[in-house]
Amino acid sequence: MQKGSISVQTENIFPIIKKFLYSDHEIFLRELVSNATDATEKLKILAQRGEVSGEIGDTTIEVILKPEDKQLIIRDRGIGMTEDEVLRYLNQIAFSSAAEFLEKYQDSSIIGHFGLGFYSAFMVASKVEVVTLSWKPDSKPVRWTCEGSPEYTIEPADKDFRGTDIILHISEENAEFLEKNRIDALLDKYCKYLPVPIQFGTKTEYFETGEGEDAKEESREVPNMVNNPHPIWKKSASELTDADYTAFYREQYPMAPEPMFWIHLNIDYPFNLTGVLYFPKLGNAMDTNRNKIHLYCNQVFVTDDVRNIVPEWLQLLHGIIDSPDIPLNVSRSYLQSDGNVKKISDYITKKVADKLNELFKQDRKAYEEKWRDLGVFVKYGMVADEKFRERANHFALLYNTNNEYFLIDEYKDKIKDLQTDKHGKLVAIYTNDPAGHDALIQAARRRNYDVLTMDTVLDNHWMQQLEYRTETGFLFVRIDSDTLDNLVQKDEEKTSVLSEKEVETVKSTFEGLVKDHKEARIECKPLSPDDAPVTITKPEFMRRMKEMQMFHGAADMFPDTYNVVVNTNHSLIAQKLAVATSEDTRNHLAQHLMDIALLQQGMLRGPELTRFVERTVSML
């Protein structure tokens, strides 16, 4: 038996490892199983090079739980270690055998790069034993033991097959890692797609025997394999079917509806990256679908926080990204600053743009049918990413209340004749509530104006960008932001059928109704007799500012201002209200017309709504 001290810079290294090496103690299992995978992959490389004689046999990694002995064992049948290698690799913290092997054999499939992964075992174990037998001929098995201090022992061991057993004696405060369900969950989270088969205990398998009346169900215990060593993102797209992609999606996101489509990523220069990204059906649910892209490094789960590698607007996608070239910190939990990160982000953005453009060109009708969901990605991307915005001009759509879809340039051509104002601006009239604005939409159609539907959470931002960016210049106005005659500002003015005195009487009547509402302003205008007698309008600029404040969760600094526009050419105003001799009659009619206008805007509520209903019933 040998005794010695582990080569470290400080006597206090183990308390530091236990407390600070990783942000979460559960990561020890990922590190140890990853090391076992490395050992197995190294053996396969040596066998391919003819350095290992004969068949290498079963290479399954076993995770063995012995709660009665307070032990958790990770067993591999990989390369193993000689006594010299144990002294070299286990007794010098941060000396990585993976790094040395990489340098010699130049193979990127080896996971470990830091050499600290093994010592994560001491975060959960009061004692760690390593029993190992090297693949090299005439090697003898050895046992290395350490109880969480710089002192260790190394001695001969009994082991009759190649590979390494890591035996963790779980400490009292980490007893949760002796529970089967806990280990099951961790293996599923971190090791689900490791490239070497992993077994954790057994499971019961049921099967039928006999036929007809003699048929019966029997059971047997079979190995419980916890991973899929060949996930679809490691295969080429040519060998996969649509069913393969959708089956994988259901496996990852069992509660989500079927995805619209997907993108298979596969690049080996100037960086290595594989993966599959899915476009889910989002509707307007932007905030509830984050953290659905999982980052892997050589099939080892790293994180679902991909903020530094995937543009924010694409974090609404679902799927897997796997790259050995992503620079991770020692715990593999955080991305570090590196040129490859920006290149990968640009690559993913381009692939998404190319896919959307391809879908639009292949089948425009099918693309239009998906636009309600696709628009969330496209609009977000156009607002957030200038390069994507330039590409998106070829497949970003506007759609109107007739359910017709237009590219941006197509829509400019559609409205230029009737909806160009006196300043040469193209006026895009829109609604965010087609049902609530139906009367206004019908009035717009009578004038042959087109009305867009803009009712998603991103449309305010997107409209502003289109106004700012488009070469000819769009001006977006909501259909209730002014009277229809004023929405497209021409130098046209209708003549009022009322005298100035009658107009003043009408105005003062309505001003009396809103005297307690500082946010309301009365305006009398000679509109078409077919337009509503009273219309509530909300100035575009002020309303947009309020909506953007609400979107960003900021304090409301703008008053909820609105205009009450009285149509002096409507028969109810011109022939009844203006000529009424009784002030009560004028006030009664004005109140009722005002309430109808407020009701159309969803602004009539509470006692005012109750009084309106009672008054209407009484009149009937």
Strands 474-478 and 426-431: parallel
Q: For the chain, percent helix, then strand, then coil, each to nearest 5?
A: 40, 20, 40
Q: DSSP H helical segments within 363-458, as ranges?
A: 364-369, 371-384, 386-392, 408-415, 438-446
- 23, 89: one domain: yes
Could you say which of 153, 182, 200 is where a domain stops?
200
pTM of the model: 0.77
Tell me which amino acid residue 509 is.
T
Which residue's entry shows tokens 């007794």? 91
In 94-245, the DSSP E strands lie at 125-133, 142-146, 151-156, 163-170, 198-209, 216-225
Token pair of 95 as six digits: 């000396």
Determine whether 228 is exposed, middle or buried from the number of CB atoms within 10 Å of its CB (0-12, 13-18, 19+). middle
Pairwise CA distance, residues 398 & 416, whole Å:
15
Residue ranges making up the domain that contains 6: 2-200
Query: Distance between CA 123 and CA 117 in Å, rounded?
Result: 11
**What's 273's domain CATH number?**
3.30.230.80
Last residue of a domain, one of 339, 362, 385: 362
Q: How confident is the model at residue 324 (pLDDT cuts 50, 70, 90)?
A: confident
Q: Which two tokens stand for residue 592?
A: 């009722």
Last residue of a domain, one of 487, 519, 549: 487
> Is position 378 within any domain?
no
Could you tell me if residue 216 is inside a domain? no
Work out how many domains the chain is built from and give that number.
4
What contacts 222, CB < 8 A, 6 or more positions away? 202, 203, 204, 205
**Is 57 domain-assigned?**
yes
Q: pLDDT tens across 456-501, in order?
A: 888 888 998 898 876 657 889 999 888 887 888 665 667 888 999 9
Q: Position of tokens 């961790």?
A: 186
Residue 473 backbone zone (phi > 0: left; psi -120 to 50: alpha; other: beta): left
Same structural domain, 449 and 579? no
**Number of neighbours of residue 46 by Cβ within 10 angstroms:** 18
Same domain, 355 and 250: yes
Q: Are residues 401 and 511 in the same domain?
A: no
Please write the tens of the pLDDT for every residue from 387-434. 899 999 999 999 999 999 999 999 999 999 999 888 888 999 999 999
14 within some domain: yes
Residue showing tokens 């059971």: 219
Does 217 map to a domain?
no
Residue 223 lies in a domain: no
Q: State whether 173 and 142 are in the same domain.
A: yes
Residues 423 and 358 in one domain: no
pLDDT tens-digit series, residues 108-143:
444 444 356 788 898 899 999 999 999 999 999 999
Q: Please state at what angle helix 27-48 crosses helix 180-190, rounded to 10 degrees.
A: 60
How far is the C-alpha of 583 from the C-alpha of 580, rounded, in Å?
7
